[in-house]
Structure 1
Amino acid sequence: MTAPLDLVYSHFQPPPGPFYEELLLDSVPERLPSRLPPPGTAHLEGHLGKFIGDGNSGIVFELDTLQLDGAPPAQGTVPRLVVKIARSNRLAALARESWFYDEMECLQGSSIARCYGWFEMELSSGQVVPAWREHPAEDPRDRDHALDHDGKTIHPDQLKRTARRDILSVLVLEMLGDRMPLGRLPSDDKVDIMSLHEDISHLSLAFSDNARRQNILRAPQEEPYLPSEVSPFTHRTHAWRVIDFEFGVKTNYTAVQLSLSYKGRVRRMFEDAEEEGAEDEVPAAFPEDRRTGELLQCA
């Protein structure tokens, strides 16, 4: 599948005067040209492996026993991969996420995970997706909240998706490492994670809820994996990656303005992680204090 170029609403704010060069661009930037080769005829086969996690929009599994056929010999090595399966009521969210991976193609393998495609199939009558049954949504009737981020302009393709419950939609992604831990991070890691969001700023992309510890993962570390690319903007080889991109918009804000906005959110993310880590380190109450604690809770 390929998401339409106009799938995601672009937020344009007219410059209020001549002295806003560092705040607003004259227009929303066009997408950078793709550097991928033309589509080929390779066939990847694999099986769902270990369950990795789930959220509001998707369910993630590692892919096992991978076999790639029909690819040139130089491209025959398959890195460790995961598959993100959209929940039955979150088809629009996964389509949006696919759009953002296309939009940020130049950052794949440096600041964000490599994306190997968005795939869909229509389910036959009575066909069951085990992942939906084994990892159910809190409320499968919920509206797809990805549409709340499209302003007044919602793409017709997305409106159709909200009414469907018979489509299996997946993203195939590079497998990343561990999530950002609780506690105080070394300063080098903080600088690196801050730089990830600076990279995204250069593409004029704004994500309202992306600066969360759960969305920061280490670069791939378990073989087989592909080496990290150098960022085209900050020229860093990052040790971390950002994930989860369905809640965002493209803007005409400058990289300077967006980077400042991200810095505040990322700093708060570091502070929250340190506070939660400190709470986990508080020793348990002594046995003779348990009764006092129960009384305080009742009060």
Structure 2
Amino acid sequence: MSVNTVDVPMAVNAISALTIHGLITDSDGSSIPIMLHRTVAPLDLVPFLSLAAYEEAPEPFIPRPPSTLPGSGDIHVQLILAEEKGWGRSSFVHELNVLPTSTLPAHLPPIVLKVTRSKRRAEIAREAWFYDELECLQGVDSNPEWRFKDSKQLTEMSHSRNYVSVLLLEKMGGKLPIGVPLGDELVKGIYDMYGELAQLGVDHRDIRYSNMLAALQGSTALPSLPSPFTGRIYTHRMIDIESCEKTNGEPRMLTRWQASWVASIVKNLPKGDIIEPWD
């Protein structure tokens, strides 16, 4: 699979199970391999957020485009946890070493593993749901209870312990440069990435410098496909979509709203300043 704007869960339909080494250990520090099976987030997992409920004729919600993925595969991948690449309130991300097996394809692109912290399964479940919602853009904080309102499954996940949930993701490159001109083409690409979410009624809600990463280049990286909306091939990706909301906001309004956050970032980077949402 390739990706246009958001980072992509690797081989969503091709991989049916993972065996992970190095994530769980026993009392003497020895690794305990665990096997996880792929699950699909149900369509009704995430409640929609109405932005115009007070109007007599609010805008309808934009339906999820039909999936164009091939049929599910049955590949079992063996992974060894490697260097930690990042962490946040709800999860941490590790690089991976893939153990060769007879069932693996000849080549797997660079991938990373995002693992939930205790009692944070709801966040990663929401993120998985939004990857499905934004499939057509992918190609081949705290823990506020309002984000789980009206979803019994998410509420139960937000309080559950002794479970492990993971996302297998495309490995990303570096962040946007600081202290140098970004160039008109790159800046336009960053604006357009978030504008494309608006075409599907999705508000990112966590637009920040650290969530804009370059796509890897080279023969081992996933290829980028043209956007179905603009025909554009993007050099960067947006990540951390667990805070997204599916809304009935009018796309032009959502585009302007998200562009205001993007502007505060890209206009200050050449000055050497990183503007965060809380600034």
State the TM-score, normalizing by the size of structure 1. Answer: 0.72
Distance across 1 between alignment mates of 2:227 and 2:188: 14
> Post-superposition shift, 1:165?
1.7
Aligned partners of 1:182 and 1:251: how far apart in 2? Answer: 33
Change (3 A) 1:50 1:198: same
- Work out whether residues 194 and 204 of structure 2, in 8 Å CA contact, stay in contact via their aligned partners in 1: no
| 1:160 and 2:199 are equivalent in the alignment | no
2:213/2:236 contact within 8 Å kept: yes
Deviation track 1:108-146 (CA, whole Å, cap 9, x = no partner) reads 15xxxx8xxxxxxxxxxxxxxxxxxxxxxxxxxxx9615
Inter-partner Cα distance in structure 2 for 1:196 and 1:158: 28
Checking the alignment, whether the CA contact within 8 Å between 1:144 and 1:162 is kept in structure 2 is no
CA shift, 1:254, in A, is 2.3
**Aligned residue type for 1:98:** A
Distance 1:66 1:146 in 2: 39
Equivalent-residue separation in structure 1 for 2:196 and 2:102 (angstroms): 34
After TM superposition, give the deviation of residue 60 of structure 1 in Å.
Answer: 0.5
Is 1:101 aligned with 2:118? no
Query: Paired residue for 1:182?
Result: 178
2-side partners of 1:105 and 1:168: how far apart? Answer: 24
Matched AA of 1:145: N
| 1:225 and 2:221 matched | yes
Q: Contact 2:197–2:204 (CA<8 Å) still a contact in 1? A: no
Tell me if structure 1 keeps the 8 A contact 2:116–2:164. yes
1:59 Cα offset (Å): 0.6
Where does residue 132 of structure 1 map in the other structure?
none
> 1:9 deviation in Å?
1.5
Are positions 1:244 and 2:243 aligned together?
Answer: no
Answer yes or no: is 1:10 the counterpart of 2:7: no
Which amino acid letter does the alignment assign opposite residue 208 of structure 1? Answer: R
TM superposition shift of 1:70? 3.4
- Structure 1 alignment gaps of length 5 or more: 19-23, 115-142, 279-299
Q: Give the whole-Å Cα distance in 1 for the aligned partners of 2:229 and 2:156.
A: 37
The Cα offsets for residues 195-224 of structure 1, whole Å up to 9 and x where unpaired, read as 101111111001222x20100000122551
What is the aligned length? 235
Indicate whether 1:85 and 2:115 are aligned. yes
Using structure 2 for the length normalisation, give the TM-score. Answer: 0.77
Answer whether contact 2:119 2:161 (CA < 8 A) is retained. Answer: yes
- Quote the Cα distance in structure 2 between the aligned partners of 1:45 and 1:169: 16
Q: Is the 8 A contact 1:179 1:213 kept in 2?
A: yes
Cα gap change, 1:252/1:70 in structure 2, threshold over 3 Å: closer, same or farther? same
> d(CA) in 1 for partners of 2:69 and 2:221?
19
User: Structure 1 residue 58 and structure 2 residue 97: aligned?
Assistant: no
Which one has a bigger Cα radius of gyration?
1
Distance 1:88 1:45, change over 3 A: same
> Hey, what's the Cα distance between the residues in 2 that align with 1:65 and 1:55?
24
Equivalent residue of 2:173, what SS?
Answer: coil
User: Does the 8 Å contact 2:89/2:142 carry over to 1?
Assistant: no
Alignment partner of 1:266: what SS?
helix
Q: 1:155 to 1:68 in 2, by over 3 A?
A: farther
Aligned to 1:145, which of 143, 146, 149? Answer: 143
Q: Distance in 2 between matches of 1:171 and 1:104?
A: 15
Shift of 1:76: 4.0
Matches of 1:65 and 1:239, distance apart in 2: 26
Correspondence 1:201 to 2:198: yes
State the identity %. 32
> Higher helix share goes to which structure?
1
Could you list the runs of 5+ residues in structure 2 that have no partner in the other structure? Answer: 1-38, 275-279
